[in-house]
Structure formats: C-alpha cells, structure tokens
Structure 1
Amino acid sequence: MTTAMSRRSDRRISPVFIGIVAVMAVTGWATWTGFAEQPGIAVFLFVTSAWIVSLCLHEYAHARTALHSGDISIGAKGYLTLNPLKYTHALLSIVLPVLFLIMGGIGLPGGAVFIERGRIRGRWKHSLISAAGPLTNVAFAVVCTAPFWLGAMDTVPFPFRFALAFLALLQVTAAILNFLPVPGLDGYGVIEPWLSYKVRRQLEPLAPFGLILVFAILWIPEVNGAFFGAVDAILRVLGISELESYCGHSLYRFWQEDGFCAVPQ
C-alpha cells in the first residue's frame, strides 16, 4: 500500500509545471486576442513559458524511457513529475537554455536528468534513452508547424502566427543541436554505447564543456549563417517562411524596436 502510494506521488504532475502551462495558456490567449497593449510582451511570455514546457517534456522523455529500460530509481528522483526544480542540473536544464533564448534567439539544449546507467542492460536501450529527449523536440516542432503545412493559418492573428513560427524555430534548432555527436549532448549519448572503451575514456573529460563549445562555435558568423540557413530550409519545407520566424523573434525581443515587423493590435 505504502509503495503504491509512493509511486503515485512520484508520478503526480507537479503544481510548478501546471503553473508554467497556465502561464503559457493565458499568454497564448493574450497573444491571439490582442488583449495585451504591447503584443511583444505577450509573445515573450508565451514563447518563454512554452519553451520551458518543451524543456520539461524533453527531460521527462529521457526519464520515462530510462524507467522502462530498467532504472527504477527515476521515480524517487522526482523526474516523472515534470517539475523543473527536480532536475539534477536545473541551471543547465532550464536557466541556461532560457538565457540563450533571450540572448540569441536559439533553442540551445540544456543538461540531462541523472540516470543510473548501471541498471540498464543493452546498448540499444542506452541509445534510445538519449534519443528520447531530442525526439520530443521533433514532435513539438511538428505540432507547432502543423497549422502551417495544413494551411490552417489564414485567419490566425499575426502576433500568434509569428510567435508560433519562432517557437517552431526553437524546437528545430534544439533538435538539431541535441543530435550533434558532441560529448555532453544527447547525440553523443546515442552513439556512446557503440564506441570502444578507450574512445569513451578519451572523450569523457569533454562532456562538461560540450554545451559551451557548441554555443561558442555558433557565435562564429560563418557557422551561424550556415546553421540558420539549414534551419530556415527545414522550416520552409514545413510551411514557415523566413519572414514569419524573423518577425516572431523580433516580437519576442520587444525591447528592441523593429518597425518592419510591426503588427496591428
């Protein structure tokens, strides 16, 4: 009885996550209806809260896959509650990605939940656990872009349309970056079980710096241009124009005036 009650508690959705979803819903409504005097503020709050929701779902996917792969300690750590405060590296998982979003308008991946890999048998399971997170970003991107490639955006207010386009851009960038085979990122976690012990030992010291390295490389103009060129190409295939994602980013950074993307309230 006690064990069953404990398991239910370990998997009960956290009020913190529900609060974030509520902020996303209210600010999404404000963006759609033009309730806010400045649409940029509503867009900022909507996109930021939606981005945090996607980060929580990303980490939840890692944890849930690990649970079904053999790590029964996941529940006790609170990872299944979707509470971002329960993450082992809340700074890496939530704070830094939000800062990167505000600074550069990029969906840079965060840290991962702590998984007891010794409890898990089979290289495919280890790879799937690592892939589960970025696959969640892919799913989130599909949801965000669905109204565009289904041709359902004709009557959608411009602020919400632009905000959704920018949110889709964040999910696409997060998925691509997460799948990079760089130590410390999920892409490396996918291939790590298949590497020799010697190679893994040599690359292990780089893991704490992988995220910072990727962010630093993206500041190189040529790399940044090529990367966002690829992202824009993917978004165009999904029905989102470069103008829509650009205006979404412009509205998000409401503290910077940009008359080019001004929309009627």
Structure 2
Amino acid sequence: MTTATARPSDRRISPVFLGIVAVAAVTGWATWTGFAEQPGLAVFLFVTAAWVVSLCLHEYAHARTALHSGDVSVGAKGYLTLNPVKYTHALLSIVLPVLFVIMGGIGLPGGAVFIERGRIRGRWRHSLISAAGPLTNVLFAVVCTAPFWLDALDGVPRDFRLALAFLALLQVTAAILNFLPVPGLDGYGVIEPWLSYQVRRQVEPLAPFGLLIVFALLWIPAVNGVFFDAVDALLRGLGIGEADTYCGFELYRFWQTDELCSVSP
C-alpha cells in the first residue's frame, strides 16, 4: 500500500486546524444560543472559521487522493495534517479566499497542494485527484443545506439559519467555480489528462492567471448577474431563499446595517 510509507506523524491533525474547529464550534454555539452581545460578530467568526475549515478539507482531499494514487510525498509536505499554512501559501490558500468572502460573498478557491504527478499512473487517477477538492465543497454544501431541504428548521434560531444559508452559498459558489474548466482551477485539472499534448502546452501559460481571470470576470455586472442567478436557482432547489442568503451576508458583515434584515424574514 502506498500509505505504508507515510509516517503517523505526517498524518497527525494539526493543533492549528483543531483551534480553527474550536473557534467554529464556540461561535456556532454563541450564534445558536444568542449568547454573544454582538450576534453579527459571532456569525462573522463562525462563518469565517467554518469557511477556513472547508478550505483545509478541500486541500486535504486533494492530498489524500494523491497519496492513495501513488504520490507518497504529500505526507512529508504536511498536507495530511490539515494545517492551513502548509497548503501552498497561506496568503493564496487562506487569506485571499477570506477576503473574497468579505468583499463580495463569493467562495473563490484558494491555492493548491503541489502534487508530484510523475508518481501517478492513469488518467482517471489524475482526474480524481483534481475533482476531490471541489467534491468536498459539494459535500459541505449538502450538510449546510440539509436542514432546509429536510424541512427541519423548527427550533433553529434565525441568526444560525441565516449563517448556514450564507455558508451554503459560499460552498456552492466554491464548487461551481472550482469545477470551471479554466487553467489553474480544479475543473481544468479534471479534463487536462484527456487533452492532447499540444493543447496542454498551449494553455499552460494561462494557469497562473486562471483565478485572477475568473475574479475579474465576476466583477463584470452582466457576468456576475448570470452567475448568481444560477447559484440562487440551485439554492432555491435546496430550500434556501434569496432573502436568507442576502440577510446572512449582511449579518456576516456586522459592521454594516441593513434595515431590511433587521427583522426576521
């Protein structure tokens, strides 16, 4: 087994990750119970911590799949510890995605783990490694939306419901954007093994700019409108209304006030 060469210490969960999980748990409890004097601050910390947790799980899924596909080097690189600072670069993997959330409520993907592709044989394995990350966002979205599509919201406090709705929005946008077949994103990584060598060589120079291109396109009002219309339609199918995600985003940005969301929708 390829996992035999990975030392137990290489797979030990990082205290940094456990600390982030603890922040999400405590602030989630504060949001649920209304314990915090400033509910918006509790929601901000809860959603941000949960979002960082999902980023760590996204990168971990890439690394874990690569490990079982033949790249045993991921253990020594620290990718199996769920430590966010081990994933490529803390600025690209964690800081920028959080800033994107604060600025526009968009779950843009962060950096990626470095996989030694030469160790891996088989196009399906390469595709699965790339797909593993966004599939984690899909799973996270299913969990966040479960109370809505299961019609199990009785007794769920308003602030916690809005926080879940906004967190679900982030996961859905992250999954969709990650699956775009744009060089540098996971969607392109899924199809890349099946492309000809000539095509791969031609698009390779665009890979470092793929994320920036997507970010720039989303600032175009027409593109942004079409994208979020699709996201809202998907969320409505999962039982989450646009008012929930909008008020969740406004509650998340607690330093701003919106009278439309000051009362329970």
TM bucket (normalised to shorter chain) is over 0.9
Q: Are 2:44 and 2:252, in contact at CA under 8 Å, matched by a contact in 1?
A: yes
Counterparts of 1:11-50 in structure 2, within 5 Å, are: 11-50=11-50
Q: Are 1:89 and 1:113, in contact at CA under 8 Å, matched by a contact in 2?
A: no
CA distance in 2, matches of 1:200, 1:6: 32
Q: Are 2:5 and 2:72, in contact at CA under 8 Å, matched by a contact in 1?
A: no
- Superposed CA RMSD in Å reads 1.4
Q: Which runs of 5+ in 1 are unaligned?
A: none
1:159 partner SS: helix
Instruction: Give the aligned partner of residue 112 of structure 2.
Output: 112
1:92 partner SS: helix
State the Cα distance separating 1:43 from its structure 2 match: 0.5
Tell me which amino acid in the other structure corresponds to 2:76: A
Give a deviation string over 1:96-139, Cα, whole Å, max 9, x none: 10110111111001111000000000000000000000000000
2:73 partner SS: coil
Give a deviation string over 1:128-156, Cα, whole Å, max 9, x none: 00000000000000000001111111211
Runs of 4+ in 1 over 2 A off after TM superposition: 3-6
Q: Are 2:6 and 2:72, in contact at CA under 8 Å, matched by a contact in 1?
A: no
Tell me which amino acid in the other structure corresponds to 1:221: P
Give a deviation string over 1:130-185, Cα, whole Å, max 9, x none: 00000000000000000111111121100000000000000000000000000000
Instruction: Give the aligned partner of residue 54 of structure 2.
Output: 54
- Give me the identity figure in percent: 84
Q: Are 1:159 and 1:263, in contact at CA under 8 Å, matched by a contact in 2?
A: no
1:109 partner SS: coil
TM-score by length of 2: 0.97
Q: What is the total number of aligned residue pairs between the two structures?
A: 262
Tell me which amino acid in the other structure corresponds to 1:55: L
Instruction: Give the aligned partner of residue 97 of structure 2.
Output: 97
State the Cα distance separating 1:262 from its structure 2 match: 1.5
State the Cα distance separating 1:90 from its structure 2 match: 2.3
Instruction: Give the aligned partner of residue 157 of structure 1.
Output: 157
State the Cα distance separating 1:263 from its structure 2 match: 4.6
1:13 partner SS: coil
Tell me which amino acid in the other structure corresponds to 1:63: A
C-alpha distance 91-24 of structure 1, shift in aligned 2 (>3 A)? same
Give a deviation string over 1:173-222, Cα, whole Å, max 9, x none: 00000000000000000000011111101101101100010000000001
Instruction: Give the aligned partner of residue 192 of structure 2.
Output: 192
Instruction: Give the aligned partner of residue 147 of structure 1.
Output: 147
CA distance in 1, matches of 2:103, 2:236: 24
CA distance in 2, matches of 1:106, 1:5: 39
2:7 partner SS: helix
2:220 pairs with 1:225:
no
CA distance in 1, matches of 2:224, 2:163: 22
Tell me which amino acid in the other structure corresponds to 1:207: A
Q: Which runs of 5+ in 2 are unaligned?
A: none
